[in-house]
């Protein structure tokens, strides 16, 4: 009996010893843990380069099975078992580390460290080849599914790193965030470079075509003068020297246009004319006979050399402006810009130079200061009528005994002498307003 008791005690002690040895090598844990970051990758093995089984979100709960180095082996509520880094979870309670597993992990880490130096070049090359460019603004998904939760938005032309591919989904890393994106939203660096080259080439081709078209249009463009006498100047300015003067309906070749001036070539000479003195078609001149009359549409040609006299000073500038309207229609009560009566014409011209005049010819006789006929200068207003109280017409003196004025419905804006005929006989006085 005593012998049996001894044998039984030996068996119990042996069983206890075996149990102690077993639990020394393998630790079972029933602890739980919560994900402490927005996104955590559950990997197949305790390795950063291991395949991602699933991505977990903040506060998801998992069951902790054991700890291996700085990794926890866990099981999700969907019974997926894998590994999480310890910095991604918050564990309730203590988890003992398995000795065998730890030794294996240490061996793996040691092996990794041993081979890391020899594989540096290979890894670097792989990372470079795994770089992709985002085609358009897109939101990363937490898992590879269209209806999955969005994580963060990546912008067009962002560079990202490919982690793994699953069908037509790609897991990428952007900064410190990893997520899933459709493969058609990415392109390689080579594809991006080719796309940029094609876009640049297309832009250059379009620009060159536009320049060529503009050059052809300018080279082939011919216009005609629409004023009795047009000054061609050295530069695009009314103060520039006159190269030559050309008459009504002269054909000119247009070279370029800028700020109200047109660069032209005429009679082997090059210069600038005011753009409003050119038209795309010739002006029609007045031809009168007993049977018919052709209506003038533009300027009336001048008969004397005196008409082309160019005056200096402010008055001369007013005269130049007034001449630009030669040939415009006379309409009673009109004050521009396309038709005028006599006082409407003078009011409009002086308004362009910042001078405000009364609206009627008689009213304008009270503007400015009186000027003797012998002292007339270009730019002076000249009034006509049967008497001082009966003033009914006004014009602008241009020098050489002539005025530019809106004469009547049949002649429009034109030039006449005041030294003979009606205007000589009905001269009343003159005023200087500039």
Distance CA 425, CA 418 (A): 9
Identify the CA nearest to 32 among candidates 88, 82, 94, 109.
Answer: 94
> 164 Cβ partners below 8 Å, 6+ apart?
51, 52, 170, 171
Given the residues 132, 185, 362, 393, select the one marked as catalytic: 393
Quote the tokens at residue 347: 């009011």
Distance CA 135, CA 172 (A): 14
Given the residues 342, 349, 403, 428, select the one marked as catalytic: 342
Q: Work out whether the CA dihedral 406, 412, 413, 415 comes out positive or negative.
A: negative
How far, in whole angstroms, is CA 349 from its chain's centroid?
A: 39
171 is catalytic: no
Given the residues 67, 323, 405, 431, select the one marked as catalytic: 405
Distance CA 207, CA 236 (A): 27
- How much of the chain is in helix, strand and coil states, percent to nearest 5? 30, 35, 35
Beta strand segments in 2-78, E = 32-35, 39-43, 52-57, 61-68, 71-75
Whether 151 and 140 have beta carbons less than 8 Å apart is answered as yes
353 is catalytic: no
The set of catalytic residues is 342, 393, 405
């Amino acid at each position: 009996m005593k012998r049996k008791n001894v044998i039984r005690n030996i068996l119990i002690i042996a069983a206890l010893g075996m149990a102690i040895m077993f639990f020394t090598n393998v630790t079972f844990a029933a602890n739980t843990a919560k994900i402490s970051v927005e996104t955590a990758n559950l990997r197949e093995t305790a390795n950063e380069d291991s395949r991602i089984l699933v991505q977990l979100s903040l506060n998801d709960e998992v069951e902790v099975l054991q700890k291996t180095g700085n990794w926890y082996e866990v099981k999700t509520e969907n019974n997926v078992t894998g590994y999480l880094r310890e910095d991604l979870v918050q564990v309730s309670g203590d988890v003992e580390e398995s000795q065998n597993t730890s030794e294996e992990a240490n061996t793996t880490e040691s092996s990794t460290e041993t081979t890391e130096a020899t594989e540096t070049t290979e890894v670097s090359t792989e990372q470079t080849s795994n770089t992709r460019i985002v085609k358009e603004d897109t939101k990363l998904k937490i898992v590879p599914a269209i209806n999955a939760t969005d994580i963060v938005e990546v912008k067009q032309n962002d560079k990202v790193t490919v982690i793994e591919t699953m069908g037509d989904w790609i897991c990428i890393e952007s900064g410190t965030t990893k997520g899933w994106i459709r493969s058609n939203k990415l392109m390689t660096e080579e594809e991006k470079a080719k796309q940029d080259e094609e876009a640049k080439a297309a832009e250059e081709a379009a620009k060159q075509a536009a320049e060529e078209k503009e050059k052809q249009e300018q080279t082939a463009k011919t216009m005609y003068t629409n004023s009795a006498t047009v000054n061609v100047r050295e530069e695009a300015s009314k103060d520039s020297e006159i190269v030559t003067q050309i008459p009504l309906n002269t054909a000119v070749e247009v070279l370029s246009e800028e700020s109200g001036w047109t660069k032209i070539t005429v009679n082997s000479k090059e210069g600038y004319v005011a753009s409003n003195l050119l038209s795309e078609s010739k002006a029609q001149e007045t031809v009168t006979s007993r049977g018919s009359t052709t209506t003038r549409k533009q300027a009336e040609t001048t008969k004397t050399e005196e008409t082309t006299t160019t005056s200096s000073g402010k008055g001369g500038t007013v005269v130049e402006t007034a001449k630009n309207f030669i040939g415009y229609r006379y309409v009673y009560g009109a004050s521009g810009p396309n038709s005028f009566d006599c006082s409407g014409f003078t009011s409009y011209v002086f308004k362009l130079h910042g001078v405000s005049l009364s609206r009627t010819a008689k009213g304008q006789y009270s503007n400015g200061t009186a000027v003797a006929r012998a002292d007339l200068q270009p730019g002076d207003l000249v009034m006509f009528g049967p008497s001082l109280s009966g003033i009914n017409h006004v014009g602008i003196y241009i020098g050489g005994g002539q005025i530019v004025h809106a004469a009547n419905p049949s002649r429009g804006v034109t030039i006449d002498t005041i030294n003979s005929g009606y205007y000589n006989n009905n001269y009343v006085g003159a005023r200087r307003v500039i």
